[in-house]
Amino acid sequence: MTILLDTGLVEYFKAQAGERGYQTLINETPGQAVERDDLEERLRRIVRGEAIDAGVRAHTPALDVAFSSIFHVQS
């Protein structure tokens, strides 16, 4: 498979990679993103399950804000 990457993106990975090699770093990054998404979803299910067990509504804005700040993503 061939993909085209913006010059700025390649330069970023080259600067971050050091001796590891930028292509290795580029290859690892999507896998890390998938793992992070899986971890976030698992944690959300666990916390919401415990909240339900404690009598708290599962989908509260406070929980969404907490997860957004932990994972630095928008809910």
Q: What is the pLDDT tens value at each position of the chain, 75 positions in all?
A: 788 999 999 999 999 998 889 999 998 988 888 787 788 788 877 777 777 776 766 556 666 666 666 666 444
Name the 3-class secondary structure at 2.
coil
Domain boundaries, the chain: 7-71
Q: Are 75 and 64 in contact, with CB atoms under 8 Å apart?
A: yes
SS3 label, residue 59: coil
Q: 3-state DSSP call for residue 38?
A: helix
Q: What is the pTM of this model?
A: 0.48
38 token code pair: 């899986």
